[in-house]
Amino acid sequence: MVKNALGTVDRYFKITERGSTYSREIRGGLATFFAMSYIVVLNPLILSGADSTGAELGSARVAAATALVAGVLTILMGAWAKHPFALATGLGVNAFVAVTVATNPGLTWPDVMGLVVISGATMFVLVLTGFRTAVFNAVPASLKTAIVVGIGMFIALIGLVNAGFVRRIPDAAGTTVPVGLGFDGELIGWPTLVFVFGLLLTMALVVRKTKGAILIGIVATSVLANILEAIFHIGPSFDGTTANPQGWSLVVPSMPNWQAPDLSLIGQANVVGPFQHLGATSALLLAFVILLSIFFDAMGTMVGLANEAGNVDKDGNIYDVNRVLLVDSLGAIAGGGASSSSSQIFVESGAGIGEGARTGLASIVTGVLFIAAMFLTPLIHLVPFEAVAPALVVVGFMMITQITKIDWTDWGVALPAFLTFILMPFTYSIANGIGAGFVAYVFMRTIQGRTKEIHPLMWVVAAAFVVFFGIGVIDQAIGL
């Protein structure tokens, strides 16, 4: 009976067909959860500000909504789309929503989340009409590869920054260098030591082809982190008032108590409010910018992860791509509807793929853990950034190795490819890199007199990104 059940699950998820095993999928699901669980802590901090009326969403409510939406969507991605992609609140979109959209006079948080729902619904329609898939197919092969490479560089930088190994240099320092090694050019603090230990251990395990290398690295490094915190009481790098450069970057290893989730934010989004308070033109412009961000962030992430997992055919097409895109579109609708901001495929899913995950079973494991995280907060607080960061750096390396597939002899596509992958980490945005690459590609092919090679949709997308990059000028022109 058990053997037949396992065989049915194997056939449904195509575990054996994709060269995976049950143990790899479970390990991959665990690795992905630990790599991205920080979003449940970080998202409430980003959305902590007040709207124009002085109202706040509330950290506990945002955390509960973030975990619930991530869990449900990730399970749906695994069970229906059958890919090892986990979803959670997108960091680029939530920051834009909190800093740019929510500060508009007259807008309330329900109005702001209403704009996210509108953007998600629009993207859902674009998927159903086949437009989003058509855009994906219109992208030249070298640019698709550049997206994979860029995401690899981006995910590695995320790991290095999260661990404090690389840090932002404040403008007050009077320097033109945006980042530097450690603090004032020096590596200090126990958390940095934890990261270095984890990186060396993970690299050694990967090189020796140890089963479960990435997960072992995360667990071993987390154990060391918890021991050091218990002995030295290191604390956070910032507690709300005081900065401690030798502290943990965000999650302090601890064992907090159980608490019931508060899900009262669900259903509070208002899709009519933005038009009432801003007018149709301004509301639609903001929704358009949000749409572009979630559209191309997710597309880029999907391309990178699918290629890394080998879940593409000989022509580079992703298996069941429409299902993936539909679930991703629902992420924006569900995230806005729950007031946790748009959810999308997370680049940290690469940690699970690096562990060997190839099917949706891994996503189901990750999703279940997110649901549990609503109640069992130790699942989140046991693993600091510094313990996960080594996995992200190693996975970044794995993805960057595809750079050899770019046609470097054709500068008309090589230069746009370069802009694509270099701007993702430098601007901390997947969408920015994709946009710059697309605009540059159309420009370069035009300069070369090879416009016939430009797919018609690339003209449309490039024009949309010109608007995206020029939003500041447009804002001033219409007085938004």
- Supply the pLDDT for residue 198: 97
- Give the Cα separation of 204 and 202 in Å (integer): 5
Q: Which residues does 180 contact at the CB level (< 8 Å), separation at least 6?
A: 166, 167, 169
DSSP string, 65-86: HHHHHHHHHHHHIIIII--S--
Q: Is 345 helix (H, G, I), strand (E, B) or coil?
A: strand
Rounded to 5°, the CA angle 422-426-63 comes to: 125
Task: Give yes or no for a contact between 133 and 158, defined as CB atoms under 8 angstroms apart.
Answer: no
Q: Which residues does 250 contact at the CB level (< 8 Å), separation at least 6?
A: 38, 41, 42, 162, 236, 237, 384, 385
Q: Is the four-CA dihedral 238, 239, 243, 244 of positive or negative sign?
A: negative
- Supply the pLDDT for residue 86: 97
Q: Which residues does 297 contact at the CB level (< 8 Å), separation at least 6?
A: 90, 92, 93, 344, 429, 430, 431
- Give the Cα separation of 129 and 135 in Å (integer): 12
Rounded to 5°, the CA angle 138-141-147 comes to: 95
- Residue 351 in tokens: 């940690």
pTM: 0.86
- Supply the pLDDT for residue 325: 92
Mean pLDDT by 10 residues, the chain (480 residues): 77 94 96 91 85 86 94 98 96 80 85 95 93 87 91 91 85 67 89 97 95 92 95 88 88 78 94 90 84 82 91 86 93 96 93 95 97 79 89 92 93 97 92 94 97 94 90 69
Whole-number Cα distances in Å, 225 to 194, 222, 236: 6, 5, 13
Task: Give yes or no for a contact between 355 and 396, defined as CB atoms under 8 angstroms apart.
Answer: no
DSSP string, 111-178: HHHHHHHHHHHHHHHHHHTTHHHHHHHHS-HHHHHHHHHHHHHHHHHHHHHHTTSEEEPPGGG--S--
- Give the Cα separation of 77 and 62 in Å (integer): 22
- Supply the pLDDT for residue 180: 87
- Supply the pLDDT for residue 409: 95
Task: Give yes or no for a contact between 284 and 87, defined as CB atoms under 8 angstroms apart.
Answer: no
Q: Is the four-CA dihedral 466, 471, 472, 476 of positive or negative sign?
A: positive
